Structure 1
Amino acid sequence: MSHPATPQRLNVFVASLSDLLNREPDEGTLIERGGELLQQLVSHDDWLPNELAQPSSERYQQYLLHLDPARRFSVVSFVWGPGQSTPVHDHRVWGLIGMLRGAEASQGFSRQADGSLHADGDAVRLEPGQVEAVSPRIGDIHQVSNAFDDRVSISIHVYGADIGAVHRAVYREDGSEKLFISGYSTPPSIAQRQPAQHES
């Protein structure tokens, strides 16, 4: 599925990534070539619909831009309000993160022999047009934050599954896991048209 008014740049990216996946590349090739495709997409900040770029004062937003019909991949816009961040978490599938607007910081973690998590070096700062990758093979546990305290940042994430339905984990300081399913955020224009839900 895609947004009804899917921009042409996103259409081109989706078609190109679909073609790449049809060739069944190994993960290294997929991350390299998929990263190049995502870099082309986020090198232009003129295509993301405004309603899918709206922050929330409560938490960062995850708007679904495209879901492959076979659920081989999903494309999501992450919209970060000033100073917002994720908990330490994993993905359990390959992922590509491309910076569209603003900047974000990603701190990687690795598990130690005693089960605790240890920060891997300094946080990586992503600027517009830059791309990084995650996967269980190359490193999958990180914490991400808006690099700015005074403005919105937006990154485009591509995952090797319907990421909103994947069972994955957030991590406590001792390295213990709490499983979760992220789901997706509802664009404000759609949320306003939906009737209020009341708990019974």
Structure 2
Amino acid sequence: MREAVVGASAPAQAADRVAERLRPFLTRPGLLAQPQCEGDPAGYRQHVLHTEPDGSFSVVALVWLPGQETPVHDHVSWCVTGVHEGEETEHRYRVVGGDGGERLLATEVIVNSAGEVGGFAPPGDIHLVRNSGSTRAISLHVYGADVGRLGSSIRRVYPQPRVSAQS
């Protein structure tokens, strides 16, 4: 991961390079220790696995029980996600309107199963992630930020009403 991040010339390139390095490990049995696979009935749970000493990236495991989801949000940095176990559904949005009439326009729904990887770099990273399956889901996230220091990769939460393209 370190080599992929240091050698990248732009955030999107870092995300692409990290995604390629993460993919082969996702379905590996025993990848995470048992405590790193524990969820929380109150909401999805974050386990910080590694923070690079210079703050250039962090590796996090997110554990989702069935039905748990994030708020609609964006990020402080580029991000790569890979599903280790279960299935996650990502709903992507963009802000439309203005002058107090902003809405979130649904642009895409992506379902990721174990072994699948995705990545992005701001802007254009507004989304909600949900465990839409009936079993626990675990995903690995690599962020281009020091999540140990920040506590989260979320930059902003979007409370605006959500609309579909047909609305």
| Shorter-normalised TM range | 0.7 to 0.9
Instruction: Name the stretch that deviates more: 18-27 or 153-162.
Output: 18-27
AA matched with 1:85: E
- Matched residue, 1:133: 119
- Matched residue, 2:5: 21
Q: How does 1:1-200 map to 2 (within 5 A)?
A: 17-114=1-98, 115-121=102-108, 123-137=109-123, 139-148=124-133, 150-163=134-147, 165=150, 168-174=155-161
What secondary structure, in the 3-state scheme, does the structure 2 residue paired with 1:120 have? strand
Structure with the largest fraction of strand: 2
Separation in 2, partners of 1:62, 1:167: 12
Greater relative CO, 1 or 2 (CA 8 Å, sep 6+): 2
What secondary structure, in the 3-state scheme, does the structure 1 residue paired with 2:40 have? coil
* Cα RMSD, aligned residues only: 1.7
* Number of residue-to-residue matches in the alignment: 156
Q: TM-score, normalized by length of structure 1?
A: 0.73
Where structure 1 has 5 or more consecutive residues not aligned to the other structure, the ranges are: 1-16, 176-200
- C-alpha displacement at 1:128, in angstroms? 0.7
- Does the Cα contact within 8 Å between 2:51 and 2:147 map onto a contact in 1? no
Partner deviation per Cα, 1:37-90 (whole Å, 9 max, x = no partner): 111121313210110110111110000000000010011000001111111011
Q: Which consecutive segments of 4 or more residues in structure 1 shift more than 4 A?
A: none
- CA distance 1:108–1:45, shift in 2 (3 Å): farther
Q: Which has the larger radius of gyration?
A: 1
Q: TM-score, normalized by length of structure 2?
A: 0.86
Instruction: Name the stretch that deviates more: 153-162 or 165-174.
Output: 165-174
